[in-house]
Amino acid sequence: MQGRTSFAPLLILALLASQSVQAQSVEDFYKGKQITLLVGSGAGGGYDAYARVLARHFAKYIPGAPSIVTKNLPAAGGMAAANMLFNQSDHDGLTLAAHTNGVAMDPLFGNTSAKFDGRQFNWIGSIGKLQNVCVIWHEHPIKTIAQAQKMEFTAAGAGATSNTVIVPKILNSLLGTKIKVIAGYEPGQGDAIAIENREVDGSCGLAWSTIKASRASWITEKKVTVLVQMAMEKLPDLPDVPSALEFVQGDDRKTLELILMRQEMGRPIAAPPGVPKERIVALRRAFDKTMLDGAFLSEARQAQLEVDPLTGEQIDELLAKAYSAPAPIVQKAASLLNPPAGAR
C-alpha cells in the first residue's frame, strides 16, 4: 500500500507536466528563443543571399518573435544540411534549413547519400522558383543551341551533384549538345570567375536569378549569350531564348519534365519531421506573410533577388506528383542526375 501511495503523487505530477507542455502556445515556445537556419550552400551564392534576406524579416511574423541565425553547410551539394536537419536536429521547430532545389527528390532518384525521405520534411515554403540557364561568353562563336549541338565548348562546373554538372549532362543526353564540363570550381562564384577569366567558355546550370543578383553586368553589357533555359515555363526576361522542352518529345520530354520539377521547388525552406503541427502551421503562415512584406520585397529588389513563392502545401503537392511518376521515367531521370560511382 505504501508503494502505491507514494507512486500516485508522481503519476499526478507527470500528467500535469505533460498537460503543461501540450498547453504551451506557439508564442510561449518561441519567445526568447533562437532559430538556426541551415543553408545548404556556400556563402556568397544565390541560396545564401535568399536565405539571409529571409532571415532578416521572417522572425517578426513568427509568434514570440524569435531571433534567426544562419549557418552555411555547403557540403555535398546541400546533402549535408538535409541529412543533418532530418537525422540530427531536434524536432522542435528551432532548426530549419534553406535547401538546394533538388535535395527533396534525391531519394526518389536513388541517391544513396540521401538519408531521408523528402516527403517527410515539414515544408514551410519556397522563396522563388529556380530557372537555370546555359550561358557562353559573348566572344565565343557559338550563339545558339543548334550550334552547340555541332561544336564543343567548355563549361565550368562545381561538384558532381551540382546543377552546373548535371545540366550539361542532361543537355548532352537529351538535346545532343557537345558540352565539356570542367568540374571542381567553388560553388557560388567560382564558375562565374572562371568564365570572366576565360578559363572556360561558359557554364550551364546557373540560376538566372543568381546571375541577375551577382553578375548583372553580364546582362546589361551583354557579356554572355544565353543559349537555352531550363524551366517548366519560360522566363519573362528571356522570351526569345528557347526552352529545353522545345527540343524533346515522348519519354524524353516526360523525363525532362520530371527533372525540371526539382527546379520548381526553387529555394525551399523546411523543418524536420516530428515538429508539433501547430508550430508548422505558424511557421508556414509566417513565411506566407513575409513573402508579402514590403520591407522584405524592397530588400529583395535591391539585391536583385526574384520572389516567386510557393507555399508549403504547394511543395507537398509537387513532391506527391513527382514521387508518383512511372518507374521507367524515374529511372531514366536518375541516370542523368546521379553522378557516376566514385565521383564527388
pLDDT in tens, 272-302: 999 999 999 999 999 999 999 999 999 999 9
How far is it between the farthest Cα atoms of the chain? Answer: 93
Q: Is the residue at 330 inside a domain?
A: yes
Among 230, 261, 292, identify where a domain stops. 261
Task: Please state whether the predicted TM-score (pTM) of the whole model is above 0.85.
Answer: no
Residues 81 and 56 occupy one common structural domain: yes
Amino acid code (one letter) for 262: R
Gyration radius of the chain over CA positions: 22
Q: Is the residue at 4 inside a domain?
A: no
Return the CATH number at 280: 3.40.190.150
Task: Quick: pLDDT tens for 6-56.
Answer: 445 544 544 444 444 445 799 999 999 999 999 987 777 778 889 999 999
Q: Is the residue at 289 inside a domain?
A: yes
Residues 311 and 218 occupy one common structural domain: no
Residues 248 and 274 occupy one common structural domain: no
Nine-digit cell string for 270:
523546411
Residues 304 and 253 occupy one common structural domain: no
Residues 121 and 269 occupy one common structural domain: yes
Domain count, the chain: 2
φ, ψ of residue 115 in degrees (nearest 5):
-100, 55
Domain with 237, as residue range(s), is 132-261
Among 218, 241, 261, identify where a domain stops. 261
Residue with cell 541529412: 83
Residues 96 and 144 occupy one common structural domain: no
Residues 94 and 143 occupy one common structural domain: no
Cα separation values, 57 from 26, 61, 148, 283, 332, Å: 18, 8, 43, 13, 41
Residues 157 and 256 occupy one common structural domain: yes
Return the CATH number at 247: 3.40.190.10
The closest of 105, 97, 102, 106 to 125, measured between CA atoms, is: 97
Residues 141 and 232 occupy one common structural domain: yes
Residues 37 and 57 occupy one common structural domain: yes
Residues 225 and 277 occupy one common structural domain: no
Please identify every stretch of the chain with a pLDDT value under 70, giving residue numbers as ranges: 1-23, 76-77, 188, 339-344
Q: Is the residue at 19 inside a domain?
A: no
Q: Is the residue at 16 inside a domain?
A: no
Q: Is the residue at 175 inside a domain?
A: yes
Among 234, 261, 288, identify where a domain stops. 261
Q: Is the residue at 343 inside a domain?
A: no
List for the chain the helix, strand, coil content (%; round to 5): 45, 15, 35
Q: Is the residue at 33 inside a domain?
A: yes
Residues 166 and 188 occupy one common structural domain: yes
- What pLDDT is stored for residue 194 in this prediction? 93
